A and B are shown apart, each in its own frame.
Chain A
Amino acid sequence: MTFEPKIIAFLCTWCSYTGADTAGIARIKSPANLRAIRVPCSGRVSPELVMRAFDQGADGVLVLGCHIGECHYDTGNHRAAKRLPILHALLTFAGLEPERFRLDWVSASEGERFSHIASKFTDEVRKLGPAHWKMEADRRVELEDAFARERENIPFPVTSCAAKTDAIRGKARELLESGQVGCVIGYEISPRGRTRPAFVVQAEDTDLLVWNPDCTHNLAVYLPARLRSKSPQKTSPAVALVAKPCDSRAINVQLAENLYRREKVHVIGVTCEGLRDVQGNMLSRCTTCQEAAPVVCDTLIGGDTSGFIPRVTSCCEEMIAELEGSSPAGRMEFWLSQFDRCTRCYACRQACPLCNCPTCLYERDDSTWVGLGIGLNEKRTFHLGRAYHLAGRCVDCDACERACPVNIPIGLLNRKLADEIEKSFGFRAGLAVAPSPIVTILSGEYKEE
């Protein structure tokens, strides 16, 4: 008996669903493998639905909408056209065969086209055999040697940070004394000698603040919760924030998403020559950094950026290229072996300045999008879903990767999607106050407060 794939087809009720009917009425043969799900518009097909279908054992997912320009709701299919190719790139990068997921357009009268697309898609998936996306409960994967590579170490140059530290302290004191801000969020040295986030509320404590190459945390993560006014009457006092160039990009995205008002935050921007990891090497993130100075700031500290040499390639990009050059099965092995270590501690999500949903989609108590389990399937869904939700928003600060207790290279997923967004939309997140191009914002929804 030949293998018959299970295919989930999301069909727009205004076009392709009727198109399937047209095919039936005209007695054009279409494959019986399709489980049709009637949706009001292809724009309704959220990436989570597609991922859920694969998680639950689909061998292929077909999304059919109206031709561009013919949408019943004007631009619903534009949403699908923007989102789903990005999802396709993500799933392919995670090891799904690209042929298993397809977006296409079929109008109500195109019965023959429907049948042609459905048959061709089914044939391709049949040829591939069953999808091995859904994992058995206690599968453990060994890391393939092909991908276990040594990171290129760039020793961090010795730099003097005393001038910047003094300038930060001076500005912080001035802001607190004048009452412009209620709190300065910067960096301090812990009693154990580690650099960590600091919250200074009194001018006499500003000498705690420091600047050094270990100031790796993206402090913008603290802004939304602090500045969200709990009641309309009571407004929270303004905050000053020490921001590196990557942090400042996160502030731009937060502003674009109306998380707080611009005047609520005084950005103490610090020019950056790169940061180092615990071994004293340049962070891999910093080896690809393109910005020496913050893109948004009220005070700039360390004005001269001539010492900054932007690099163009790093181990991350080589790694992405190598993974892309590998087979889908190889990529899947790689990612499963990484996600295997995850415990869903959510350190990545919590350290992310742009993961700020009140309740994470993947932590809902109804198991709608992902189960409660800390198994391979759930961990992968969480990480891929999170990467997708950050597409066009992620500023590559790699705070997630540094927060991970078990060194999962989550940043590769984000970087891959940032590349896709740049290729498709010519957009890099956070360079200006602009929302992600794959998020459609209705004119009424997006307004200055």
Chain B
Amino acid sequence: MSRPQGSPNRKLITQEGLNSWLDELAVTRSLIAPRLAAGVPLYQRVAGSNEIAWGISRTVLSVKQAFFPPNERLLTIRKNGQAIQLEETVPEEAQIVFGVRPCEARGVRLLDALFLDTPPADPYYASRRENTVLIGLACREMGPTCFCNSVGGAPNEAGDVDVMLYEVNDGYVLEDVTDKGRSLTVDLGLDVYDYDPHVYRYESHYEVVSPLTIKWPGLFEHEYWQKMSERCLSCRACAYVCPTCRCFAIRDESIGTGEFERLRCWDSCAGENYRLLAGGHKARPEKGDRLRNRMFCKFHFYAEQTGLGNISACTGCGRCIDVCPVGVDITEVLADLGRQP
């Protein structure tokens, strides 16, 4: 992935230049960027660069909501006498997501493996993916709970976005990564800038065991899961903030006057009723079963099922560590399992 120093793709843009570029983009497309909603940084639609929360390390919810929203209507179902009419709602709005961190962008790549590359492709996800340009922003430093470099990523990895920005003293170094990105930056008339992002060394705050060194299949029946999950509350916060959790539920609901909608909403294996079967059988009745599933899904099942090979489906953003109300820590699980023979 490393490009030669002084790559012609890297140019310098000032803060003012960036602002006016984003403002210009926001005129024709929907601009989604980190924004402070009552003090909480979230990806939301912004009217212009002045609404963007600059200087935050990361949002509470990840960028996955731009492609896989918490709540979406798939179909509208109309009853017309005896006939039933279905109307699909494929999103077509062009959107630009600004401020995407490399860990989240990597999460999008991992979601692609399921939603796009595993047939049948998901038309809703595919359409949003097609109509979206990702503008990445390299991290200045690793946050206290970040561990992207322990799971195969880097705080300045540019491979999963369309345009990448690196913060430097004079503004930002802008790098075109894809043709989709280049088409947006070509008219800016920026000067080529001599910059090598890989010179910068990031300091980890916390030593994290690599999940690839752990022998997952043999740990499934381990008593550890029951013990480590005792404090878990079975809420879904970890899954909903995760850039790669993508379970959903679908249900048809009445919207009045003989019309129905088919809804797709986020769901999570952390909930007790997830995969509830007819007759009331719960697939994973204990908290330990559910947390084990979460860890196995991240580090073993997902990559295997989607054919990604031996990689981690956790991108090390650390969001789940931050939001867990009772301090369940994915890196601690890795450390504990790493000690198993």
Name the CB-closest residue of B to A359. Answer: B273
- Interface with A: B18-26, B78-86, B289-297, B320-328, which one? B320-328
From known contacts A137-B73, A365-B273, infer whether A407 and B325 are also in contact, taking CB-CB under 8 Å: no
Chain A residues with CB under 8 Å of B234's CB are 350
Chain B residues with CB under 8 Å of A346's CB are 235-236, 271
A374 to B71, CA, bound (A): 5
Within 8 A of A (CB), among B282-341: 321, 323, 325-327, 329, 331-332, 335
- Interface with B: A116-124, A188-196, A281-289, A431-439, which one? A188-196
**Cβ contact within 8 Å between B40 and A407:** yes
- Interface with B: A243-251, A263-271, A337-345, which one? A337-345
| Interface: A83 (CB within 8 A) | no
| Interface: B266 (CB within 8 A) | yes
**Cβ contact within 8 Å between A372 and B233:** no
| Interface: A57 (CB within 8 A) | yes
Chain A residues with CB under 8 Å of B188's CB are none
Per DSSP, are chain A's interface residues mostly helix, strand or loop, or mixed?
loop
Chain A residues with CB under 8 Å of B45's CB are 140
**Cβ contact within 8 Å between A351 and B325:** yes
A interface footprint on B70-100 (CB within 8 Å = 1, 0 otherwise): 1101000000000000000000000000000
Name the CB-closest residue of A to B41. Answer: A406
B interface footprint on A351-373 (CB within 8 Å = 1, 0 otherwise): 10000000100010101000111
A359 to B325, CA, bound (A): 21
The count of residues in chain A whose C-beta lies closer than 8 Å to any C-beta of chain B is 45
Within 8 A of B (CB), among A181-225: 190-192, 194-199, 217, 221-222
**Cβ contact within 8 Å between B38 and A338:** yes
Q: Which of B253, B276, B325 meets A373, CB within 8 Å?
A: B253
A34 to B39, CA, bound (A): 44
**Cβ contact within 8 Å between B37 and A405:** no
Name the CB-closest residue of B to A340. Answer: B37
**Cβ contact within 8 Å between A217 and B37:** no
Q: Which of A196, A345, A365, A372 meets B326, CB within 8 Å?
A: A196
| Interface: B184 (CB within 8 A) | no
**Cβ contact within 8 Å between B235 and A143:** no
Chain A residues with CB under 8 Å of B323's CB are 347, 405
| Interface: A402 (CB within 8 A) | yes
Within 8 A of A (CB), among B27-65: 37-40, 42, 44-45, 60-61
Name the CB-closest residue of A to B321. Answer: A192
Q: Please give the distance in Å from A360's CB to the nearest CB on chain B.
A: 9
Central interface residue in A140, A350, A375, by most chain B CB within 10 Å: A350
A142 to B262, CA, bound (A): 28
**Cβ contact within 8 Å between A217 and B265:** no
From known contacts A196-B326, A405-B60, infer whether A337 and B235 are also in contact, taking CB-CB under 8 Å: no
Chain B residues with CB under 8 Å of A197's CB are 230-231, 326-327
| Interface: B168 (CB within 8 A) | no
A372 to B265, CA, bound (A): 7
Central interface residue in A194, A341, A405, by most chain B CB within 10 Å: A405
Chain A residues with CB under 8 Å of B241's CB are 405
Name the CB-closest residue of B to A151. Answer: B39
Chain B residues with CB under 8 Å of A331's CB are none
**Cβ contact within 8 Å between B231 and A372:** no
| Interface: B206 (CB within 8 A) | yes
**Cβ contact within 8 Å between A57 and B40:** no
Q: Please give the distance in Å from B206's CB to the nearest CB on chain A.
A: 7
From known contacts A345-B240, A405-B323, infer whether A351 and B251 are also in contact, taking CB-CB under 8 Å: no
| Interface: A51 (CB within 8 A) | no
Chain A residues with CB under 8 Å of B256's CB are 56-57
**Cβ contact within 8 Å between A363 and B273:** yes
**Cβ contact within 8 Å between A191 and B71:** no
Central interface residue in B39, B233, B273, by most chain A CB within 10 Å: B233
From known contacts A140-B45, A191-B335, A372-B263, infer whether A343 and B276 are also in contact, taking CB-CB under 8 Å: no
Q: Please give the distance in Å from B319's CB to the nearest CB on chain A.
A: 9
| Interface: B190 (CB within 8 A) | no
A143 to B35, CA, bound (A): 12
Name the CB-closest residue of A to B205. Answer: A192
A399 to B233, CA, bound (A): 12
Chain B residues with CB under 8 Å of A191's CB are 329, 332, 335
**Cβ contact within 8 Å between B327 and A190:** yes
**Cβ contact within 8 Å between A374 and B266:** yes
A212 to B227, CA, bound (A): 24
Within 8 A of A (CB), among B191-230: 206, 227, 230
| Interface: A148 (CB within 8 A) | yes
Central interface residue in A137, A192, A194, A195, by most chain B CB within 10 Å: A192
| Interface: A403 (CB within 8 A) | yes
A349 to B236, CA, bound (A): 11
Within 8 A of B (CB), among A359-405: 359, 363, 365, 367, 371-375, 399, 402-403, 405
| Interface: B247 (CB within 8 A) | no
Q: Please give the distance in Å from A190's CB to the nearest CB on chain B.
A: 5
A407 to B322, CA, bound (A): 13
Name the CB-closest residue of B to A197. Answer: B231
Central interface residue in B256, B265, B276, by most chain A CB within 10 Å: B265
**Cβ contact within 8 Å between B251 and A372:** yes
A57 to B266, CA, bound (A): 26
Within 8 A of B (CB), among A97-124: none
**Cβ contact within 8 Å between A217 and B253:** no
Chain B residues with CB under 8 Å of A221's CB are 233
Name the CB-closest residue of B to A342. Answer: B70
Name the CB-closest residue of B to A216. Answer: B325
A interface footprint on B172-199 (CB within 8 Å = 1, 0 otherwise): 0000000000000000000000000000
**Cβ contact within 8 Å between B329 and A373:** no
From known contacts A191-B329, A346-B271, infer whether A407 and B39 are also in contact, taking CB-CB under 8 Å: yes
Chain B residues with CB under 8 Å of A407's CB are 38-40
| Interface: B121 (CB within 8 A) | no
Q: Please give the distance in Å from B323's CB to the nearest CB on chain A.
A: 4
Q: Which of A56, A194, A359, A372 meets B327, CB within 8 Å?
A: A194
Q: Please give the distance in Å from B252's CB to the nearest CB on chain A.
A: 9
**Cβ contact within 8 Å between A350 and B233:** yes
**Cβ contact within 8 Å between B325 and A217:** yes
Chain A residues with CB under 8 Å of B251's CB are 365, 367, 371-372
A375 to B325, CA, bound (A): 24
**Cβ contact within 8 Å between B233 and A347:** yes
Q: Please give the distance in Å from B208's CB to the nearest CB on chain A.
A: 11
Q: Please give the distance in Å from B163's CB to the nearest CB on chain A.
A: 26
| Interface: B237 (CB within 8 A) | yes
Chain A residues with CB under 8 Å of B335's CB are 191
A-B contact pairs, 7 of them (CB 8 A): A148-B38, A222-B230, A337-B37, A343-B240, A350-B234, A373-B71, A406-B42
Tell me the B residues contacting A by CB distance below 8 Å: 37-40, 42, 44-45, 60-61, 70-71, 73, 145, 206, 227, 230-231, 233-237, 239-241, 249, 251, 253, 256, 263, 265-266, 268, 271, 273, 276, 321, 323, 325-327, 329, 331-332, 335
Tell me the A residues contacting B by CB distance below 8 Å: 56-57, 137, 140, 143, 148, 190-192, 194-199, 217, 221-222, 337-338, 340-341, 343-347, 349-351, 359, 363, 365, 367, 371-375, 399, 402-403, 405-407
